[in-house]
Chains A and B, each alone.
Chain A
Amino acid sequence: MEQHSKDKERFFKTLKSGNVRTLARAITLVENDVSFVEPLPKQENYSQVIGFTGAPGVGKSTLINSYIDALRKSGRTVAVLCVDPSSPASGGAFLGDRLRMNEHIADPAVYIRSLSARSHLGGLCKNISQIIQVINYTEKWDIIILETVGAGQSEVEIAKIADCKIVVVCPGYGDEMQAMKAGILEIADILAVNKADMPEASHTAKELKSMLQLRPAGARNVPIILTVASQNQGIENLLNSIDALLN
């Protein structure tokens, strides 16, 4: 037992030193057993957590890929956690979000990790807070980006965890009645209308704006940003809006 706690101490020391292999392993261990992080000190959060959520196929991963670019240009280190759904039948998962972020693979200041939701409802995975705690502990990553599973109207768990929430929609996602519905649009700090080169984009932005106007007086300002992630358009605007919220 004593040997075990010594081993653990050594492991956490290596983790703190910034070893990526140890970080990857630590995330697996926490994913499997939450008690693993118990010895870690509760400390001030080092990393700022940015959450991206939205329906499947709106371009969350592609938008994150461009956002990573912008963050790297501003000199910040980035850890990305991409959650994909697990199969309800087998419990297995096909994790493919990082494919769209492959251009950052050679950059040691970008860490990307795929996570399975493991049947957890809410858009993330069960031990996500503890996984973030592990990354915080290393004090190596300025920004943690969280990508939820393709979310519907009730996967709002990210609201509790992220310092800044970006809800990504794309043109033609539904009419004004959809925008009126409570849920995911309500948690947004920023609304990103991605694929804004599609003809209905300005219409979608207008509908979202009119939804925001129905909120009570004094409600916080929610910027609506048009982006074309695949062509790097609107990304600087997105970066600046997020930074404005963080500071």
Chain B
Amino acid sequence: MSKKNLKYPARVLVTKIGLDGHDRGSRIVAAYLRDAGMEVIYTPPWQAIDSIVTLALQEDIDVIGLSSLATDHLIVPDLMKSLKAANLDHIKVIIGGIIPECEHGMLREAGVGEIFEPGAQREEIVDCVAALAAKARQVKQEFEGV
């Protein structure tokens, strides 16, 4: 698969916040992204929001992919706030998993870039992450001038 028009590999954090431990989905997506030429920093489930923010800071992450299968996405707005507070709101956040439609609006409003539901295809996810990573880099470049 191509590098999706990125000059350098995207840096993507694939993780789960909250108390749910079902990580098959996040592992599969991590493998998709790796196989699309991206650099994936993967963590086990049960991450605290503060840890995710620090990790994203230290690793110069472009996109955070969250898996939510048991209402963990309800704390995503808190993550978005923490990212903003840490001056990291250039990082794009996407969610995949079981996300009831009635909660999409709330997540979009909080700044979530994309929501993937069951049945999402590999290509869709990879293309979306690549496009968002390119955007994140552009913001960083404009902000820092280098």
Q: Do A and B bind each other?
A: yes
Residues on A facing B (Cβ under 8 Å): 3-4, 6-8, 10-11, 20-22, 24-25, 27-29, 31-32, 36, 86-87, 89-96, 98-99, 102, 105-106, 111-114, 116, 118
Q: Which residue of chain B has its CB nearest to the CB of A27?
A: B60
CB-CB under 8 A for A87 and B145, given A32-B8, A94-B42:
no
Q: How far is the CA of A11 from the CA of B50 in the complex (A)?
A: 26
Q: Report the number of A-B residue pairs with Cβ-Cβ less than 8 Å.
A: 96
Contact call A93/B57, Cβ cutoff below 8 A: no
A106 to B57, CA, bound (A): 12
| Per-residue A-contact encoding for B1-34, CB less than 8 Å = 1, 0 else | 1010001110100000000000000000011011
Q: With an 8 A cutoff between CB atoms, is B88 at the interface?
A: yes
Give CA–CA (A90, B36) in the complex, Å: 6
Residue B35 at the A interface, CB < 8 A?
yes
- Using A92-B9, A96-B42 as known contacts, say yes or no to A25 and B37 having CB atoms under 8 A apart: no
Residues in B whose Cβ lies below 8 Å from that of A112: 58
CB neighbours (8 Å) of B9 from chain A are 91-93, 116, 118
Chain B contacts of A87 at CB under 8 A? 34-35
Q: Could you tell me if A98 and B39 are in contact, using CB atoms closer than 8 angstroms?
A: no
Bound CA–CA A10/B104 (angstroms) = 40
- Verify B43–A90 contact, CB threshold 8 A: no
B positions within 8 Å CB-CB of A: 1, 3, 7-9, 11, 30-31, 33-44, 50-51, 54-55, 57-60, 87-88, 140, 144-146
Complex: chain A residue closest to B54, CB-CB: A105
Extra contacts besides A25-B60, A91-B37, A94-B40 (14): CB < 8 Å: A11-B146, A21-B87, A90-B37, A94-B31, A94-B34, A94-B42, A95-B40, A95-B42, A96-B41, A105-B51, A106-B51, A113-B59, A116-B39, A118-B9
Contact of A93 among B39, B60, B87 (CB under 8 A): B39
Shortest Cβ distance from B61 into A: residue? A24
Q: Most chain-B Cβ atoms within 10 A of its Cβ — which of A4, A22, A32, A116?
A: A116
Q: Which of B44, B50, B88 contacts A106 (CB 8 A)?
A: B50
Chain B hits for A111, CB < 8 A = 58
Decide yes or no: A24 and B57 within 8 Å by CB, A7-B145, A11-B145, A32-B8 being known contacts: yes
Contact B41 A114 (CB under 8 A): yes
A161 to B135 alpha-carbon distance, docked (Å): 35
**In the complex, what residues of A have CB within 8 A of residue B8's CB?**
28, 31-32
Q: Whose C-beta in chain B lies nearest to the C-beta of A8?
A: B146
16 A-B interface contacts by CB (under 8 A): A3-B145, A8-B145, A20-B57, A21-B87, A22-B144, A29-B146, A89-B35, A90-B36, A90-B37, A92-B40, A93-B40, A94-B31, A95-B40, A96-B42, A113-B59, A116-B9
CB closest residue in chain B, given A110: B58
Report the separation of the CA atoms of residues A186 and B7 in the bound assembly, to the nearest whole angstrom. 39
Residues in B with CB closer than 8 Å to A22 are 144
**Known interface pairs A106-B50, A112-B58; A92-B146 also in contact (CB < 8 Å):** no
Q: A10: which B residues are within 8 A, CB to CB?
A: 145
Contact B11 A28 (CB under 8 A): yes
Q: Which residues of A are found within 8 Å of B140, using beta-carbon distances?
A: 25
What's the nearest-Cβ distance from chain B to residue A14, in Å? 8
6 tightest Cβ-Cβ pairs between the two chains A and B = A7-B145, A24-B60, A92-B34, A32-B8, A92-B37, A28-B60
A20 neighbours in B (Cβ, 8 Å): 57-58
Assess whether A11 is in contact with B35, with CB atoms less than 8 Å apart.
no
